[in-house]
């Protein structure tokens, strides 16, 4: 799977939005396989028109700021590519980095929001909110 830096570089190289859409779809094809058993209502991202599922695991080497690894999938090609972009940006990072991640700067750099339908843009924001929420939840000290 491409790194977020590679994706940003590739977007800069592609002038035409049709080529960028094809690239986003191609990124979606590189996602790690998500088992069907993980495609549950609990893992579904609310606020997306397409179906989007996210799961995560945490490295517990540093319980106060664990590294999160996400797996995601969607039933729509372009949305699957957007999942791949978000996972490239967030998966494998510390929870604190994910919580403070500036998605607006990334979207601006890629020019995403002005080329997505309002429904897809809302879905992308919902996906980011879910990723940040998961990161916040694992980094909060447990009571007791």
Token digits of residue 17: 């939005």
DSSP 35: -
**CA–CA gap between residue 99 and residue 115 (Å, rounded):** 25
Is 90 marked active-site? no
Q: Which of 7, 24, 48, 78 is catalytic?
A: 48
Helices (H) and strands (E) in the chain, counts: 6, 3
Question: For residue 127, how many other CB atoms are within 10 A of its CB?
Answer: 25
φ/ψ of residue 61, rounded to 5:
-60, -40
Q: With H, G, I as helix, E, B as strand and everything else as coil, classify residue 4.
A: helix
Q: Which residues are catalytic?
A: 48
């Amino acid at each position: 799977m491409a790194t977020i830096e590679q994706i940003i570089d590739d977007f800069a190289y592609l002038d035409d939005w049709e080529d960028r859409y094809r690239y986003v779809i191609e990124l979606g094809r590189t996602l790690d396989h998500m088992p069907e058993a993980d495609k549950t209502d609990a893992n579904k991202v609310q606020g997306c028109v397409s179906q989007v599922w996210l799961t995560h695991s945490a490295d517990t080497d540093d319980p106060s700021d664990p590294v999160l690894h996400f797996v995601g999938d969607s039933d729509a090609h372009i949305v699957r590519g957007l999942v791949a972009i978000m996972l490239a940006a967030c998966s494998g990072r510390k929870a604190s980095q994910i919580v403070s991640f500036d998605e607006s700067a990334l979207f601006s750099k890629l020019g995403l929001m002005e080329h997505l339908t309002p429904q897809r843009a809302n879905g992308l924001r919902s996906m980011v909110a879910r990723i940040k929420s998961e990161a916040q939840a694992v980094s909060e000290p447990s009571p007791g």
